[in-house]
Structures are given as C-alpha cells and as structure tokens.
Copies of this chain bind each other. A is one copy, B any other.
Amino acid sequence: LHRPAGEAAARRQAQLTKPPGALGRLEAIAIQLASMQGRERPALERAQITVFAGDHGVMAEGVSAFPQAVTGEMVKNFARGGAAISVLAREQGVRLEVVDLGTVNDPGPLDGVIRLRLAPSTANFTSAPAMTESQFEQALAAGRAAVARAAGAGAQLFIAGEMGIGNTTAAAALACGLIGLPAQLMAGPGTGLDAEGVARKAAVIDRALACHAGQLAEPAEALRRLGGFELAAIAGACIACAQKGLPMLVDGFIVTAAALAAVRMQPTVRDWLLFAHASAEPGHGHLLQMLGAQPLIDLNLRLGEGSGAAVALPLLRLACALHNGMATFAEAGVSEKHG
C-alpha cells in the first residue's frame, strides 16, 4: 500500500465542501483506494469480472437443490448474456470473462469462455482430496492468469465470480478446515436446501473433515483437499492481485472462503481486499469476522457469480467520483465549520 497517497487523499477529503466525515464510509473507501492505487485521486473506470466455473465430486452425496448439469448450462447463459452477472457487467460497462475449469455437462467452446478444463469435476472429498497436486497448481495458475489479463487490459479493480453446483458445500468445508469451526456453523441452505438438506450437508462436511483430519494445517493443502477448481482459482487470483497491487472486490460466501484461504497462504493479501456484501448464507458472517471485514451492502443476496460484488461496484465508483469531483471550501467560496 502507498501510505503517502492515502494521506494525501485524507487531506483532500477534509477540504471538500461537506461537514468532515459526512460521507461516512464513502470517504474511507476513496482513501483506501487511493492508497491501493498510489494516487491521491483513485479511478475505477475499468474493472474486470472473471467467473470461474467448476463441478464438484461431493455432489454424489446429494448436497444441492439443483442438478449438476446446471453448472455447464449456466456457463452458456453467462456467455449468451442472460445470467445476473452478464446483466450487471453489461449495465456497468465492465469486461466479463468466464473460465471453464471443468464441468460434468461440457458446454463446448463458447465466445467469452476460456476453456481450461482440468477434469469433469473434482473428486468427492468425503473420501479423497478434491484435487490432485497438478490440478490444484493449474487451478491456482488459472486465477493468476485472469488477473494478469485484467492488469494487461488496464483494469483498476478485479472481481472474481464463481459457478459450481455444490460449491457452498466445498466453501463451507474449506472454511471449517481453515478456522476449525464445526460444520453446523458453516453449512447453510445454499441455492435452497430445506432444514433436512442442511443437516445432511453438515454431516457430509463432518465426514470430509474426519477424512482429512491431520492434513489441514497448511492452508494450501486444506484448499486442495476441501476446495474446488473455482475456489483454488479465486485464491490464486487473490494472491496475484496483491502481487500486482490490484484492488479486489470480494463477493459473497464462496469467494470469501477462497479469499480467507489466500490470506492464510499469504497474509499481505488482506490489504488488497475490499468486501462487497453480507450474504444471506449464514456462514458468511463468521468468515467476514475472521477477516475483520465490514461489507458495504446487506441486501439478502445469495446468488454468487460475483453478483454481490457487481451490485456494490457503483458505490465504489461514486465514492471515487465524489472524492475527485467535489469542490473544496476554497474553490467554492464556502465558509467552514466554526472553531
């Protein structure tokens, strides 16, 4: 982080025509982005959203309300512009790309979709590591490559999204493995399980944690054993954002679980993360607390795809516009506060 740019931004905020502090968290965001971007006046004209898609072997345990074919079907929907994240990207002039890391239902080659298929799905982590060493390295590299493309295209902010039927189970298992919390605190309804389904999901996670007990001390190893292709790619993207000095706007439960793994792998990653929203998925609050994160919005979203981050993006852009575009007291000839 570039402290002098952040300090210059804080001095500028104090001179803008408003009571000191009256723009609340929007002031803090502008100052934070200034110190990330190394400039007194931060800019967010260009952002990139990369959605990482992958299927999950743990779907054999019946952990989702939707059939597994949906992952590949949604990759097509992203490419054709019909998904929530497609609409949000288009509406805001943000570049959207999709990385297909392996789906049971192969959508085939599609415009706007990068094929990096590692396998039709991960392995069922109740009885084996989700990924081989080689798959895990390739997934991390896929995340790094997406950030390299974003930086190369001049993006000033990176958003990671995810698609993978069953991936709230993987994210919850990963979170439990990293934090040491019981599965009941992390297993939630996901796309719409009832109470019985959530209990079954928690039991599946407990079996996975038992299977990998003693192997989870290293965060990278916990991610390889309990994560998924898209979770590993997102963790790789987080680390690459920190290395390149690119701010990342973190989406909901699944992306936050991957970000937590990345922060455990490389603690300086935390400095480059902004948190978009509080998900309706009950485990998300625990993850945000572990990361000392205060999200911007709380609209009961639980869709994934990066949609919560894309919905919060205008708030960051307006924070920059206010910071850069407002007049100072001196410029406007406005009197300052008494005393």
Interface residues in chain A, defined as those with a beta carbon under 8 Å from any beta carbon in chain B: 16-26, 65-67, 69-70, 73-74, 76-77, 80-84, 86-88, 90-91, 191-192, 280, 296-303, 307, 311, 314-315, 317-318, 321-322, 325-327, 331-338
Q: Can you list 29 A-B pairs, Cβ within 8 angstroms, ordered by A?
A: A17-B84, A18-B83, A18-B303, A19-B66, A19-B191, A23-B301, A23-B303, A24-B280, A24-B301, A25-B300, A25-B301, A26-B299, A26-B301, A66-B335, A69-B335, A70-B334, A70-B335, A76-B333, A80-B332, A81-B327, A83-B327, A87-B325, A91-B321, A91-B325, A297-B297, A298-B298, A311-B315, A314-B314, A314-B318
A30–chain B nearest beta-carbon distance, Å: 12
Ranked nearest first, the 5 interchain pairs of A and B with the lowest CB-CB distance are A82-B327, A24-B300, A314-B314, A22-B303, A19-B191
Flag if B299 contacts A332 (CB, 8 Å).
no
This chain's copy number in the assembly: 2
- The chain B residue sitting closest to A19, CB to CB, is B191
A169–chain B nearest beta-carbon distance, Å: 15
A76–chain B nearest beta-carbon distance, Å: 7
Determine the distance from Cα of A115 to Cα of B311 in the docked complex, in whole angstroms: 38
Q: Which residues of B contact A336 (CB under 8 A)?
A: 66
- The chain B residue sitting closest to A301, CB to CB, is B24
A92–chain B nearest beta-carbon distance, Å: 8
Flag if B301 contacts A77 (CB, 8 Å).
no
- The chain B residue sitting closest to A66, CB to CB, is B337
Q: Which residues of B contact A81 (CB under 8 A)?
A: 327
Determine the distance from Cα of A82 to Cα of B192 in the docked complex, in whole angstroms: 47
Q: Which of B77, B191, B299, B334 contacts A334 (CB 8 A)?
A: B77
Q: Which residues of B contact A25 (CB under 8 A)?
A: 299-301
Determine the distance from Cα of A339 to Cα of B77 in the docked complex, in whole angstroms: 22
Q: Which of B315, B325, B327 contacts A314 (CB 8 A)?
A: B315
Identify 17 new A-B residue pairs, CB closer than 8 A, beyond the known A73-B332, A191-B337, A298-B298: A17-B82, A19-B302, A24-B302, A25-B299, A25-B300, A25-B301, A66-B336, A70-B334, A77-B327, A80-B332, A82-B326, A82-B331, A84-B326, A91-B318, A296-B297, A311-B318, A314-B314
Q: Which of B70, B77, B321 contacts A88 (CB 8 A)?
A: B321
Flag if B19 contacts A303 (CB, 8 Å).
yes
Q: Which residues of B contact A314 (CB under 8 A)?
A: 314-315, 318
- The chain B residue sitting closest to A77, CB to CB, is B332
A86–chain B nearest beta-carbon distance, Å: 8
Flag if B297 contacts A22 (CB, 8 Å).
no
Flag if A83 contacts B326 (CB, 8 Å).
yes
Q: Which residues of B contact A18 (CB under 8 A)?
A: 83-84, 303
